Amino acid sequence: MQAFSGAGISLGGGQANPPTIVNGIDDSIKIEDEPPADTDPALVIDLQLRMPNGSKLQRKFLRTNTLGDVMAFVKRNYSGVTEVKFMTAFPKKTFEDPSMTLDAAKFGKREALNVDAQ
């Protein structure tokens, strides 16, 4: 008896090219590389993101990057997310405009943000 080697038809009508998710990282979402180590420190923000499940993501971004870039980073590393907004603990502020730069958000050199992801 031989194992089946033919092609099948998906009954679920799934995506033609589903995203490749390896170790929780969705490779279909493209993000810029982290700033190189020799980048002027005044241009770099070190973000720590507290995810809804208690895990943390950390990464460096340029001040010229947008909240949309950070949202893409979250979506790439936290599977199943379609909407993202960020909140500071104190003073309490919410950030959800993807076009806002990190500089315009007035983030310091290091910033910890709570992530509301759905």
pLDDT, position 39: 94
CB atoms within 10 A of CB 4: 6
Residue range 60-64: mean pLDDT, rounded = 96
Query: Is 64 within a domain?
Result: yes
Q: Which residues, at least 6 apart from 68, have a Cβ–Cβ distance to it below 8 Å?
A: 98, 99
Task: Give the residue numbers spanning the domain of 90.
Answer: 51-118
Location of structure tokens 């502020």: 93
- What's 83's domain CATH number? 3.10.20.90
Residue 35 in any domain: the answer is: no
Predicted local distance difference test score (pLDDT) of residue 112: 95
Whether the pTM exceeds 0.85: the reply is no
